[in-house]
Amino acid sequence: MAKEPIPYKIYLEENEMPTAWYNVRADMKNKPAPLLNPATGKPMTADELSAVFCRELVAQELNNDDRLIPIPTEIRDFYKMYRPSPLVRAYCLEKKLNTPAKIYYKFEGNNTSGSHKLNSAIAQAYYAREQGLKGVTTETGAGQWGTALSMACAYFGLDCKVYMVKVSYEQKPFRREVMRTYGASVTPSPSMETNVGRAINAQFPGTTGSLGCAISEAVEAATSREGYRYVLGSVLNQVLLHQSVIGLEAKAALDKYGIVPDVIIGCAGGGSNLGGLISPFMGEKLRGERDYRFVAVEPASCPSFTRGKFAYDFCDTGKVCPLAKMYTLGSNFIPAPNHAGGLRYHGMSSTLSQLYHDGYMEAISVPQTAVFEAAEYFARCEGILPAPESSHAIRAAIDEAVKCRETGKEETILFGLTGTGYFDMVAYEKYHDGKMEDYVPTDEELAKYAAELPKIG
Amino acid sequence: MAKEPIPYKIYLEENEMPTAWYNVRADMKNKPAPLLNPATGKPMTADELSAVFCRELVAQELNNDDRLIPIPTEIRDFYKMYRPSPLVRAYCLEKKLNTPAKIYYKFEGNNTSGSHKLNSAIAQAYYAREQGLKGVTTETGAGQWGTALSMACAYFGLDCKVYMVKVSYEQKPFRREVMRTYGASVTPSPSMETNVGRAINAQFPGTTGSLGCAISEAVEAATSREGYRYVLGSVLNQVLLHQSVIGLEAKAALDKYGIVPDVIIGCAGGGSNLGGLISPFMGEKLRGERDYRFVAVEPASCPSFTRGKFAYDFCDTGKVCPLAKMYTLGSNFIPAPNHAGGLRYHGMSSTLSQLYHDGYMEAISVPQTAVFEAAEYFARCEGILPAPESSHAIRAAIDEAVKCRETGKEETILFGLTGTGYFDMVAYEKYHDGKMEDYVPTDEELAKYAAELPKIG
């Protein structure tokens, strides 16, 4: 039964915050397919994975059975510095849309990384410190993950080495400076510091880099020096596990007021935010306790769910990482320049891919001008300037609320507002100046990359 | 009696949020001196002020008697979208400093304007809308006030015309784009749109502008067109009144846990944040109910409290605004390039000036390299990347906590963390690269500008 009135923002008390992450794989009948060793075609063992990743994170990656994984106290203490994140009732948006729908969003942007990425960064840094490592390496594109990891490493006194796609390094000097403020070393990729970087620089003189190349450099940097491991901000099962804190908090806040969402919407790049937000609700659906609609929103320019293949593929363009079974556009697919950098990934979390394949979720794709239109509309009434990634979810939520206006249906909509757009003003400027273009890959283009998928699994 | 444990962040429930602003002038024995008409040397009347400012805001400006001014419902509803702001216990900072002091900060940066400025912007926009105006004009330097006003005007459907100091307009294009996202028109100042702008451009070809010039342009733009008024983000009594919401919330949160601060610290530029934070505590001190130490922290490069004169002076370098009695370095004083743009003001709120003059407050000044050192130290343990302005208060709070370590005194320190530094990364970069310089005006320089003060009052 709903307690009234519902406040603008529902915060949990500290003692209402989750003490364990929820592992949705435990409730899945069809488990996500295992990572494969590209050399042998066999599932990656814990030992093989531990050469690259921290031991405890490997255990989490492979754990398909335990429903709850306790959150260590030190991580919970860090969470308390910026969490619980608010669950916001979008009263003003509802009024402006004149919709009978009730709209809620879980806002993850109130921390210096500007997004939900910090939830997993702090966990990964913690386990690295527990293992007695000196530091970690990673790649970053737009810079949110790199920033989050820098913050986490500063907190635990770990060295942090970030390979930043060269074009972003040059175009986003502010992001770079934020990372330096937290003591991270930031190297434009491809660099001359690694074999793979030197090889790429030799083969493509003047290249401005790519996420795939930065991943390869970060992996080499971790495996070639003592006391380092590589960490990744999305796609992996462990990341979805850590991000379940988003959904657990959202559900606890809704439960306090007896609110049950009809539809839950999130943007989808690698799947970390969407997977985290929907996890505990999906658990109820998987266990047959309650039904929900789940909607993944992806950019029309990078439509892995809606137009990709469900197949084994490389996670990186450099093909140094294990193979994952997922909805993919092919690891050779280079997404057109969409301004939502966090959604420009050719693949998708294996866990979400399996759930989508089994019919538990829907997916839609939206063009970026429509996304920025929604972003601006939202900013002007709800105040928050959203990240382009998050605005994909806003677009879908607005469209859903408008449908309710037409049908008169009083739906309860929950969406994930993953972050803020303060470092994305170049994109907003293009939108304001009418210079933003929409890109949609042709069927021929997608077929070409799909034909190049590895013949495994 | 203190309830334990004290959470990392104390939030108020919606029904615990203030319903009235607190007007500290009502409790002052010596009221702040009135604004004077520069032409007549006589106190500005409500009618004279109403040609420039909104009627209700003029009434608030002149109201030295009512202790509580109700906050209109629509403003309270807007506040609910981003307030209450968290009162944070800086557990991690305390631990890192190894201090017996208990440190709290009131964090105002969790909104898209990035600072406390929104608290007054929404109030001023509301009264403009109530008066049936079409729009408002203002100036902005670093851009926080302009952003806040743009957000407020978007919410109430008002036109918003911002004159942005040309050098900031060119160096901070992202701030400009945020304002455009909220529908504001942003003009680099001096422009060719106003008489004063054209005159300045003719006199100083190629000038990159100043806050004083932008104020003059904004005032001319407001008074020369139908249905517009000018609004200002600091210094004025009305602004301190609106900002009292910071202190009221902070006090309510502390009271919930029986916490009484020994010392309250805030950065001071025009005084809006400091005045807002300390108001209700100062009220108790003025009424003889409880004693507190209050510390204003200003940049060594612009030391109005610590090295200025208490005298009538112009509020703007263009000398078009009324005269205010305040601690001032002289309206011709041009502060050296300190990166805390929000603190580069020659004068200080009349209310705070009177309180300081009467011995109710202390003031100190700090050089900017020490400020950035504190900022980075704070960011690495508390997570939040602070604005350069706010970091003046951090510097003083850290120094106070270190003193406690030396004396063993268990002081409770409260400071105002007014905002985030996401748009200040150029300054952080200079600090990281060892290229930041400290500026301290010489006695001769200050004497020269002091000698130019108007001979009034």
Question: Do A381 and B154 make contact, defined as CB atoms within 8 angstroms?
Answer: yes
Share the mean pLDDT of chain B: 94
Question: Do B154 and A9 make contact, defined as CB atoms within 8 angstroms?
Answer: no
Q: Best mutation site among A3, A8, A417 for testing chain B: the one with the most B CBs within 10 Å? A: A8
Convert the pLDDT of each residue in B358-369 to its tens digit: 999 999 999 999
Q: Rounded to the nearest 10 degrees, how much is the dihedral formed by the CA atoms of A45, A333, A393, A267?
A: 0
- What ipTM does this complex have? 0.93
What is the pLDDT, as a whole number, of residue A5?
A: 87
Give B-chain residues touching A177 at CB under 8 angstroms.
Answer: 425-426, 428-429, 432
Rounded Cα distance between B457 and B448, Å, is 20
Give B-chain residues touching A14 at CB under 8 angstroms.
Answer: 7-8
First to last CA, chain A: 48
Give A-chain residues touching B82 at CB under 8 angstroms.
Answer: 383
Q: Best mutation site among B75, B77, B171, B385 for testing chain A: the one with the most A CBs within 10 Å? A: B385
pLDDT over 50 at B209, yes or no: yes
- pLDDT band at residue A52 under the 50/70/90 scheme: very high
Residue of B309, B241, B227 lying closest to B280 (CA atoms): B241
Phi, psi angles (nearest 5°) of residue A341: -55, -35
Q: How far is CA B243 from the centre of its chain?
A: 9
With CA atoms as reference, the chain B residue closest to A185 would be B432
Length of chain A: 457
Question: Do A380 and B14 make contact, defined as CB atoms within 8 angstroms?
Answer: no
Asked if A77 is an interface residue toward chain B (Cβ–Cβ < 8 A), one would say yes
What is the pLDDT, as a whole number, of residue A457?
A: 55
DSSP type of residue B8: S
Residue A339 · residue A427 · CB < 8 Å: yes
Give A-chain residues touching B91 at CB under 8 angstroms.
Answer: 77
Measure in Å the smallest separation between the Cα of B143 and chain A Cα atoms.
Answer: 13
Q: Best mutation site among B4, B8, B75 for testing chain A: the one with the most A CBs within 10 Å? A: B8
Residue with the bigger pLDDT between B331 and A395: it is: A395
Question: Do A376 and B181 make contact, defined as CB atoms within 8 angstroms?
Answer: yes
Tell me the percentage of chain B whose pLDDT exceeds 90. 85
Tell me the percentage of chain A whose pLDDT exceeds 70. 99
Residue A52 · residue A315 · CB < 8 Å: no
Residue A184 tokens, joined: 């991270």
With CA atoms as reference, the chain A residue closest to B157 would be A380
Question: Do B151 and A383 make contact, defined as CB atoms within 8 angstroms?
Answer: yes
Q: Best mutation site among A93, A425, A430, A436 for testing chain B: the one with the most B CBs within 10 Å? A: A425
Asked if B432 is an interface residue toward chain A (Cβ–Cβ < 8 A), one would say yes
- pLDDT band at residue A338 under the 50/70/90 scheme: confident
Give B-chain residues touching A111 at CB under 8 angstroms.
Answer: 383-384
Residue with the bigger pLDDT between B324 and B171: it is: B324
Residue B64 · residue B31 · CB < 8 Å: yes
Beta-carbon contacts of residue A442 (< 8 Å; ≥ 6 apart): none
Convert the pLDDT of each residue in A75-94 to its tens digit: 999 999 999 999 999 999 99
Question: Do A385 and B91 make contact, defined as CB atoms within 8 angstroms?
Answer: no
Give B-chain residues touching A8 at CB under 8 angstroms.
Answer: 14, 77, 80-81
Rounded Cα distance between B367 and B379, Å, is 19
Asked if B9 is an interface residue toward chain A (Cβ–Cβ < 8 A), one would say yes
Beta-carbon contacts of residue A5 (< 8 Å; ≥ 6 apart): none
Which residues does residue A419 pair with via DSSP β-bridges, in sequence order?
A115
What is the pLDDT, as a whole number, of residue A1?
A: 45
Rounded Cα distance between A27 and A208, Å, is 43
Which residues does residue B188 pair with via DSSP β-bridges, in sequence order?
B164
Asked if A257 is an interface residue toward chain B (Cβ–Cβ < 8 A), one would say no
Rounded Cα distance between B225 and B222, Å, is 6
- Which member of B183, B380, B432 has the closest CB to residue A177? B432
Rounded Cα distance between A106 and B94, Å, is 30
Asked if B310 is an interface residue toward chain A (Cβ–Cβ < 8 A), one would say no
pLDDT over 90 at A316, yes or no: no
Give A-chain residues touching B121 at CB under 8 angstroms.
Answer: none
**Over residues B416-430, mean pLDDT:** 93
**Over residues B291-302, mean pLDDT:** 97
The Cβ-side half-sphere exposure at A289, using a 13 Å CA radius, reads 8
Asked if A170 is an interface residue toward chain B (Cβ–Cβ < 8 A), one would say no
Rounded Cα distance between A124 and A227, Å, is 15
Query: What DSSP string runs through B14-64?
Result: GGGS-SEEE-GGGG-SSPPPPPB-TTT-SBPPHHHHHTTS-HHHHHHHH--
**Over residues A168-186, mean pLDDT:** 91
Give A-chain residues touching B384 at CB under 8 angstroms.
Answer: 111-112
Q: Best mutation site among A79, A107, A174, A378 for testing chain B: the one with the most B CBs within 10 Å? A: A174
Measure in Å the smallest separation between the Cα of A318 and chain B Cα atoms.
Answer: 32
DSSP type of residue B115: B
Asked if A403 is an interface residue toward chain B (Cβ–Cβ < 8 A), one would say no
- Which member of A11, A182, A183 has the closest CB to residue B11? A11
Question: Do B380 and A432 make contact, defined as CB atoms within 8 angstroms?
Answer: no
Residue A140 · residue A117 · CB < 8 Å: no
Query: What DSSP string runs through A46-115?
Result: HHHHHTTS-HHHHHHHH--S-SEEEPPHHHHHHHHHH-SPPEEE-HHHHHHHT-S-EEEEEE---STT-B
- The edge-to-edge listing of strands for the beta sheet with A412-417 is A9-10, A87-89, A102-107, A412-417, A263-267, A293-299, A362-366
Beta-carbon contacts of residue B8 (< 8 Å; ≥ 6 apart): A14, A77, A80, A81, B88, B89, B91
pLDDT over 60 at A250, yes or no: yes
Asked if B104 is an interface residue toward chain A (Cβ–Cβ < 8 A), one would say no
Place of tokens 């000398």: B319
pLDDT over 80 at B67, yes or no: yes
Question: Do A173 and B376 make contact, defined as CB atoms within 8 angstroms?
Answer: no
Burial of residue B147 (CB within 10 Å: 0-12, 13-18, 19+) is buried
Question: Do A381 and B182 make contact, defined as CB atoms within 8 angstroms?
Answer: no
What is the pLDDT, as a whole number, of residue B287?
A: 98
Rounded Cα distance between B413 and B105, Å, is 8
Residue with the bigger pLDDT between A345 and A65: it is: A65
Convert the pLDDT of each residue in B351-395 to its tens digit: 999 999 999 999 999 999 999 999 999 999 999 999 999 999 999
Rounded Cα distance between B18 and A453, Å, is 61
Rounded Cα distance between B280 and A140, Å, is 46
**Over residues B418-428, mean pLDDT:** 92
Asked if B8 is an interface residue toward chain A (Cβ–Cβ < 8 A), one would say yes
What is the pLDDT, as a whole number, of residue A227?
A: 97
Asked if A156 is an interface residue toward chain B (Cβ–Cβ < 8 A), one would say no
pLDDT over 90 at B446, yes or no: yes
**Over residues B117-131, mean pLDDT:** 98
**Over residues B254-275, mean pLDDT:** 97
Rounded Cα distance between A324 and B45, Å, is 74
- pLDDT band at residue B1 under the 50/70/90 scheme: very low
Strand segments (E) across B130-226: 135-140, 159-165, 185-189
Residue B402 · residue B99 · CB < 8 Å: yes
Q: How far is CA B300 from the centre of its chain?
A: 17
Convert the pLDDT of each residue in A396-450 to its tens digit: 999 999 999 999 999 999 999 999 999 889 899 999 999 999 999 999 999 999 9
Rounded Cα distance between B418 and B395, Å, is 14
Question: Do B383 and A155 make contact, defined as CB atoms within 8 angstroms?
Answer: yes
Convert the pLDDT of each residue in A113-152 to its tens digit: 999 999 999 999 999 999 999 999 999 988 999 999 999 9
Rounded Cα distance between A416 and A273, Å, is 8
**Over residues B133-161, mean pLDDT:** 96
Strand, coil or helix: what is B159?
strand
Task: Average the pLDDT over each of A27-31, B187-191, B318-322, B328-332 and give the range with the smallest value.
Answer: B318-322
Asked if B227 is an interface residue toward chain A (Cβ–Cβ < 8 A), one would say no
pLDDT over 90 at A337, yes or no: no
Asked if B81 is an interface residue toward chain A (Cβ–Cβ < 8 A), one would say yes
Q: Best mutation site among B12, B14, B425 for testing chain A: the one with the most A CBs within 10 Å? A: B425
Asked if B16 is an interface residue toward chain A (Cβ–Cβ < 8 A), one would say no
Asked if B17 is an interface residue toward chain A (Cβ–Cβ < 8 A), one would say no
Residue of B363, B386, B383 lying closest to B374 (CA atoms): B386
